[in-house]
Structure 1
Amino acid sequence: MQGIKKRLVGSYLLVILLTVLIMDTFLLLGVRQYYYDNVQDILKKQAEVAGSFYGRYLSDKDLAREAGALLEIFSSTTAAQVQIINAPGVVLADSQGAPTAPNPLFADTQRALAGELGQWQGNLPVTGEPAMSVAYPLKSGAQVVGAVRFVTSLTGIHGVVKNIALILIVTGLLVLILATAVSVLLSTTITGPVEKITRVAGEMAAGRFSARAVKKYDDEVGKLADTLNYMAEEIVRYDQLKNQFIASISHELRTPLTSIKGWAVTLRSGGLKNMAELNDGLSIIERESDRLTLLVDELLDFSRLSAGKITLQQDTVYLPELLDSIVKQLNPRARRQGINLLCETPQDLPVVKADSNRLKQVFINLLDNAFKFTPSGGTVRVSARAGDEQIQIRIADTGNGIPQTELPKVKQKFYKGTASAGSGIGLSICDEIVKLHRGQLIIDSAPGQGTEVRVILPL
């Protein structure tokens, strides 16, 4: 497996290598062209001056007789080879040797004899060295009588270009070496924290959630470290809540089981003296059995919700009728506890598409919580109102309220507040059921001022 460090260093070096190659190539080509253009411009100016001089002062004289004098004049001001060529293409005078016929392939001579400035670049036929030449027509009036040709070697320029190329290559290598060192350093600053985070993640995977990733930089890797640490803290917290939940459920199950077993043993022993005691015992067994059934149902619902296996049996639900039936069902309990239970739902509420049994489960659970924390003489009020796109059901009590530090956590799984007396999953189940209806469950409370729960359902 190729590591991130190798890929980063390789990517950096590839980009830098390509950049150096492209820059060196363009620089070298630019320098070469610069020197060539300079030489060409000088030869052009010299040829134009020579042609202009001939046309102004010697155009009425015979070119063959004046060739030597012209050669002496033109070669005295330049280091280039100078040739005087007549109209048939014969070299009349040459500053570097005996007159010879020029190579007919030299395009500059042909163009000059045709009356235009001619240019040529290539290798000389005899020596093979690189050269550049410019030829200019010599005119007598409108007639071309010959040409003057300036030829210079490019060997020196090639040497300069090679030296510059060597400097660029050495500079490029130094840049690559420096870039390699910088790339390794930069990649280490990236991969180092990642490797540490990976080791910490491995420890967490092995169950050591006390391990923490060190945040070195406030960047994406730093955010990853923060996220990993937060995840570990959440796992530890949920593990603690789970243990508390298991202990709480064990206690909740043990209490009714103890009562049922105690009365079962009493009934079996025949120690009851009258029917009143017998009926009391059977009633206790029935109530405790109901408590066990409720706890088991809550656990089953919680398990199904966690596994995503609960499906809603949605139908048209008329909320005033549903809420009225729930209030009637819980009125006896309210009277026993001395609580004033009120239902204020207008009869013109629109219908909603929902699972009536699940909504009933939610409302009964919320009212059960309200009864648990509302003292005798208090009030529990159920109300509802409709908006343009949603309907809102409120269950408000005048009970003890919830501390502000606990309010954000009461809907979390397994959470039990300081005054909680249930399994710790009731509100979590209610919240999940409301979410399945694409709604919201919002809790507002203040200590000593009661609690208001709002169930918001879309129309």
Structure 2
Amino acid sequence: MKGIKKRLFLNYLIGVCLVLFSVELILMISIKNYYYKSVEQSLNEKAQSSATFYDQYLNKNYANLSDSLAPLVENNTEQQNIEIQIIDKKGNILLSSGIVSAEKIQTNDFQKALKGEASTWTGNNFDTNEKVMSASNALKDLDSNIIAVIRVVTSLEDVNNLILKYLFLSMTLLIVILICIFISSTILSKTIIEPVREVNDIARKMSKGQFNERINKHYNDEIGELSDTLNYMASEILKAEETKNDFISSVSHELRTPLTAIKGWGETIITGSFEDKEEIEKGLKVILRETDRLKNMVDELLDFSKLEGNKLVLNMEKTDIKEEIEEILRLYDGRAKKERISLQSKFTENIPEFSVDRNRFKQVIINILDNAMKFSPKDSNILINVSTLENELIIEIIDNGYGIAKEDLPKIKDKFFKGNSKKSGSGIGLAVCDKIIKLHGGSLELKSELNKGTNVIIKLRIN
């Protein structure tokens, strides 16, 4: 988790820092450009106005060049931040409101002014090496010939100091923001990592079989959904474990009963305790009946295993449904008479031959009919009603037996479910029937009311 927390924290922090530094850089460039443009505009206006003043007034009123240029410098001596220079065409400073430098002026603004273009220049002063900006404009005689250049120079030190002040303030603000981001990202990463750590810890316990553990849901986000999923999974595993234990207990009991009967009668017959042949035959019949019962239980388990693994292959063939059901009823006729249960059948006319797996179809009908008889009292009725509706074959097995409790009905087709019934059985017969019918492309439905009876409805689509 330390790795995730570190990556999350660093990615968030680096991303925000890049954005903030980019904003800071753009802001400082914008501030610098704004102030430099303001100074440039001011210098250009000063140089232009001075050149215009000379052209309109001084040039006409003074015959001597020096006399005509001097007022341009004298009028600006009080402006401490601005230096006015009058430069001849060779770059020599003729007049200046500041210190006259011996260095020749050859800057870009001067060169362009000699061509009649107003221009500015930013660089370092030759004497003081401080950052300055200058604007130059040509001075012309009455014949419009360039005789000199007026150059307005100002120091950028105050502007740069102001920009540095803004930079300091913005950097201070940036540091404060970064501290806030550091704190918030730490809290954010903790709110993400702590639930993940809890999920991981509980998941490890679950992997060791501690399915009673539950994850506390802190937020309604993806981690919260994961917590709900793991909690649900643990609940379902506990239910499956409980169902499995109930099934093992039930099957063990179901296997023990016939095995006890077989062992008891087998030992009695072997010891020769019976001299009466009829008693021996009775014991052998019990052994045979209980053996068949064991075989049926094992067959159910094998069928269920195949169905769960999708390994059951149907052998489809044209089948006379009416004939198959009547044959099944004949098989149960003796048992029905013994238990005083009335077995009846009803068929609509022209029931078509149907493509089914004959043995699996019989298995389904026998299982449902066996359940109906098992859960019906004496002197009750069971009806098998076969009909067609549009493109469906409908088989209804209706009894007026004990019925199924309302709360058990939604789970009655679940594997291993037996409800509160004390009757023998593995609890997988109906689940097997449901899967077999689904493999045929049909459906199996149950309608039941406690103490009133059950109606099992099988629907198969006619090909």
TM bucket (normalised to shorter chain) is: 0.7 to 0.9
Residue 340 (structure 1) aligns with? 343
Equivalent of residue 192 in structure 1, options 177, 191, 194: 194
C-alpha displacement at 1:238, in angstroms? 2.1
Q: Measured at CA, do residues 128 and 303 of structure 1 come closer, stay the same or move farther in structure 2, by a change above 3 Å? A: same
Residue 16 (structure 1) aligns with? 16
C-alpha displacement at 1:150, in angstroms? 1.2
Give distance in 2, aligned partners of 1:75 and 1:323: 126
Other structure's SS at 1:443 match: strand
Paired residues for 1:6-405 under 5 Å: 6-60=6-60, 61=62, 63-76=65-78, 79-87=81-89, 89-98=91-100, 102-104=104-106, 106-140=107-141, 143-145=144-146, 146-272=148-274, 276-306=278-308, 308=309, 310-313=311-314, 315=316, 317-318=317-318, 321-322=320-321, 324-333=323-332, 335-336=336-337, 337=339, 338-344=341-347, 347=350, 355-375=357-377, 376-383=379-386, 385=388, 393-405=395-407
Residue 423 (structure 1) aligns with? 426
C-alpha displacement at 1:119, in angstroms? 1.7
Amino acid aligned to 1:14 = I
Amino acid aligned to 1:152 = T
Q: Is the 8 A contact 2:382 2:397 kept in 1?
A: no
C-alpha displacement at 1:290, in angstroms? 0.9
Other structure's SS at 1:339 match: strand
Q: Is the 8 A contact 2:351 2:387 kept in 1?
A: no
Q: Measured at CA, do residues 227 and 85 of structure 1 come closer, stay the same or move farther in structure 2, by a change above 3 Å? A: same
**Greater Cα shift, 81-90 or 286-295:** 81-90
C-alpha displacement at 1:11, in angstroms? 2.0
C-alpha displacement at 1:115, in angstroms? 2.1
Deviations 1:78-101 (A, max 9, x none): 721212234555433222123756
Residue 5 (structure 2) aligns with? 5
Deviations 1:49-99 (A, max 9, x none): 222222322343554431111112245457212122345554332221237
Identity within the alignment, %: 37
C-alpha displacement at 1:44, in angstroms? 1.9
Q: Measured at CA, do residues 424 and 100 of structure 1 come closer, stay the same or move farther in structure 2, by a change above 3 Å? A: same
Gaps of 5+ in 2: none
Q: Measured at CA, do residues 377 and 214 of structure 1 come closer, stay the same or move farther in structure 2, by a change above 3 Å? A: same
Q: Measured at CA, do residues 38 and 346 of structure 1 come closer, stay the same or move farther in structure 2, by a change above 3 Å? A: farther
When normalised by structure 2's length, the TM-score is 0.86
Q: Is the 8 A contact 2:385 2:397 kept in 1?
A: yes
What is the number of equivalent residue pairs in this alignment? 453
Q: Measured at CA, do residues 323 and 287 of structure 1 come closer, stay the same or move farther in structure 2, by a change above 3 Å? A: farther
Q: Is the 8 A contact 1:396 1:451 kept in 2?
A: yes
Amino acid aligned to 1:52 = T
Q: Measured at CA, do residues 372 and 290 of structure 1 come closer, stay the same or move farther in structure 2, by a change above 3 Å? A: same
Amino acid aligned to 1:19 = V
When normalised by structure 1's length, the TM-score is 0.87
Deviations 1:151-185 (A, max 9, x none): 11222222222232233333222222222222222
Q: Measured at CA, do residues 39 and 440 of structure 1 come closer, stay the same or move farther in structure 2, by a change above 3 Å? A: farther
Amino acid aligned to 2:35 = Y
C-alpha displacement at 1:392, in angstroms? 5.7
Q: Measured at CA, do residues 394 and 415 of structure 1 come closer, stay the same or move farther in structure 2, by a change above 3 Å? A: same
